[in-house]
Structure 1
Amino acid sequence: MTSAITPIGLLDSDQVKSVIGAAALAPSTHNTQPWRFRCTPVGLELHADPERALPVVDADQRELLLSCGAALFNLRTAIQALGAHPATTLLPRRDQPNLLAVVRPFSARKPDPRLVELADAIPRRHTNRTPFERAVIPAATVTRLRHAAELEQAWLPRMDAVQLHRLRELVNKSHHAQLADPAFVAEWRYWTGRDCTSRGGVPDYAAGAMPADDGGWILRDFGTQATPPRGRIDEADPLVVIIGSFDDTRLDRIRAGQAMQRVLLTATAAGLDASVISQPVEVPDVRNELRDLLGSGLWPQIVLRLGRGRPVAWTPRRSLADVLLEPDQRTA
């Protein structure tokens, strides 16, 4: 075991290793995994990893904060499943902007069965970009997903047929805007279509969701470094939801990332698959249009596609040593 892992509070070294491993299974844009962790006598720290930032598609690091928020929710949930209370402070030091949270597992708490269920879903949750089956998701499940977002101070608004049709148009518009940007394409190519042995980025077997020009949903294969993306029609009508926040500060984005992960784990526990439709929140003008579509009361943070797809392989993860900071090490 690496020397950077030490007991913290009620957790021994093996348990600390286990909860960091659970945190590192969170989703991230292009599978960049932009997080680092550090063990200290006063708590377990979550840091943003600026070397894993995406300067083109995520210039203000909004999606980086969402990804780290998802990792934080996994961390909190895994700690609670072990019977410890994860007292959490967000953005604890102004002079360390990359220090996003400190989690202090120093007091005991009986595990909540609902959180244990989510903890059990952590290793089973993975992005599924295949076409989904034709199936209606029960209203009770949608209600649970909405409640999951609200528990993390975010909101999953109801969308009618007109709004969903307009959303498809906005995804199509943003997708073509991105492909027309050479800098975006270069960054996208760097992180996608990778060899399956790569620890980061999206391997070449993965595909992403985008809308067809006729308003239906197709699935985009990332292809290789030398080939263009390819499309396959998704005949199903997936459940598409938006997670939003009332403000758009760094704190709101971290909270929205936690809400996203709670929704994804709730979906996994219900037997659903999910993938992210990122284009309409990555193009600023389109994101503003999407905000108007929601009535201007919410900042859209992430768009999710939910349903049941065929089994797919997991995306790889960085090694434990690669995501750990030594006690005296700081992120830039």
Structure 2
Amino acid sequence: MTEKMASVVRRAVRAATWAPSVHNTQPWSFGVDGDEIALRADSDRRLRLCDPSGRESLISCGAALMNVRLALRALGYEPRVRVLPDPDRPALLATVRPGVAMMADVEARLLYGEVERRRTHRAGFTRLPVPEPLLEVLVAEAGGEGARLTPVRSEVAVRVLAAVTCAAQDVQSQDRLLSLEVVRWARPPGSSRGDGVPAEGYPRVPRRTRPHFAQRDYAHGHPWGSDADQFLSVSTGVVAVLTTKGDSRQDWIMAGQALQRVLLRASAHGLSAAFHTQALEMFHLREFLRQELCSQEYPQMIMRLGITFDDSGGVRRPVTEVLEER
């Protein structure tokens, strides 16, 4: 492999590490053999209680796969992707090779430029409106990856989503072991860890929006959190649900790719996203949402989209910690 190709492959892996993941667990590892990148699930980073099926872990890994694809296209190569290529190796989620050299894709370069700028938001949004044409673009981005993004227009449906989110959070907060699992991925102020949710990544005293979507309790009784945007974070934003027709491992990986494409496009236009997965981690609530609000499709992510002036930094493990090269 040439030095140029080695650089391309390494940049693609670096991009993958900046994908969003549940509680910033970064549940992936990578192997490079020649010019082939192998994306693997890291079972040690899966949430055993919140995510026993590994659904959220694979959505996270699907987002990482999207970053690899975008990086290769932005660097002038058509990615050759195989998803779940070996049934006898369930941890191997995908392999990607740089294919035919091509003109650098302008759209891919735009989204690739947002990979390290995109941030997960964990509070309310400003009252600045989200443009309707932009929402239509985000819907199209998800559809292009085989998933469906539905902005929730009905006030009643938004209230239902908020209510089940709060109910799930209340129930989960009473489960000591599950709460400890969440706390495991909370980083105290000044922590040098390269994973988990930073103390400055959520508000110290969150303002309630109407309707209110409950946030995770990462501080768990500690006076952690940020004071940024406390007087601006008053809007719920636009609530949206990402769904798929099926609910297999392949669907979860597909959902992750669609989600990341939506997030990067949103970031390119100044939008941030807040995620709410509590209700989707409880089978009966997820099934209720599938039947009553999602037209029988499987909800993979509940999110809020909006504008914020939060510019908190992100944390990631170094590439050397997640990459094995042959």
TM-score calculated relative to the size of structure 2: 0.90
> What is the distance in 2 between the residues matched to 1:173 and 1:130?
18
Matched, 1:149 2:145: no
Q: Map of 1:108-147 to 2, 5 A cutoff?
A: 108-147=101-140
1:222 — aligned with what? 218
Q: State the distance in 2 between where 1:323 and 1:17 align.
A: 12
Flag the 1:315–1:213 CA change in 2: closer, same or farther, 3 A. Answer: closer
- Specify whether residues 214 and 243 from structure 1 end up closer, same or farther in structure 2 by C-alpha distance, changes over 3 A only: closer
Partner of 1:247: 246
Aligned equivalents of 2:221 and 2:310: distance in 1? 25
- On the 8 A contact 2:122/2:274 being kept in 1, the answer is yes
- Number of paired residues? 320
Does residue 205 (structure 1) correspond to residue 204 (structure 2)? The answer is no
What percentage of residue pairs aligned between the two structures are identical? Answer: 33
Contact residue 172 and residue 211 of structure 1 kept, 8 A = no
- Structure 1 residues not aligned, in runs of 5+: 1-5, 328-332
CA deviation string 1:181-225 (max 9, x = no partner): 111111011111434311111122222899969733465662267
Other-structure match for 1:186: 180
For the Cα contact (< 8 Å) 2:199–2:225, is it kept in 1?
no
CA distance in 1, matches of 2:224, 2:316: 25
Q: What is the one-letter code of the residue matched to 1:33?
A: Q
Give the CA deviation at 1:151. Answer: 0.8
Moved more, 162-171 or 229-238: 229-238
Deviation at 1:296, TM superposition (A): 4.0
Q: Kindly report the root-mean-square deviation, in angstroms, between the aligned alpha carbons of the 2 structures.
A: 2.6
| Paired letter, 2:18 | L
Contact residue 163 and residue 293 of structure 1 kept, 8 A: no
Per the TM alignment, residue 227 of structure 1 is displaced from its structure 2 partner at its CA by 6.3
- What do the CA deviations read for 1:252-297 (whole angstroms, capped 9, x no partner)? 0000000000000010011111121121211222111111232442
User: Counterparts of 1:128 and 1:229 in 2: how far apart (Å)?
Assistant: 13
Once the two structures are overlaid, the 10-residue window that deviates more, 184-193 or 208-217, is 208-217
Distance 1:141 1:213 in 2: 23
Alpha-carbon shift at residue 100 of structure 1 (Å): 0.4
> Normalising to structure 1: TM-score of the pair?
0.89
Corresponding position: 1:35 with 2:28: yes
Cα pair 2:75 2:104 within 8 Å, conserved: yes
- Counterparts of 1:19 and 1:286, CA distance in 2: 37
After the TM superposition, which residues 7-86 of structure 1 pair with which residues of structure 2 at under 5 Å, given as runs?
12-41=5-34, 43-86=36-79
Between the aligned partners of 1:183 and 1:221, the Cα distance in structure 2 is: 14
Contact 1:127 1:314 in 2 (8 A): no
Range with greater deviation from structure 2 (312-321 or 262-271): 312-321
Gaps of 5+ in 2: none
The verdict on how the C-alpha distance between 1:120 and 1:230 changes in structure 2, with shifts beyond 3 A counting, is closer
Give the Cα separation in 2 of the matches to 1:60 and 1:176: 22
SS of residue paired to 1:301: strand
**CA 1:295–1:275 in structure 2 vs 1: closer, same or farther (change >3 Å)?**
closer
Q: Which amino acid aligns with 1:245?
A: T
Moved over 4 A (4+): 208-214, 217-221, 224-234
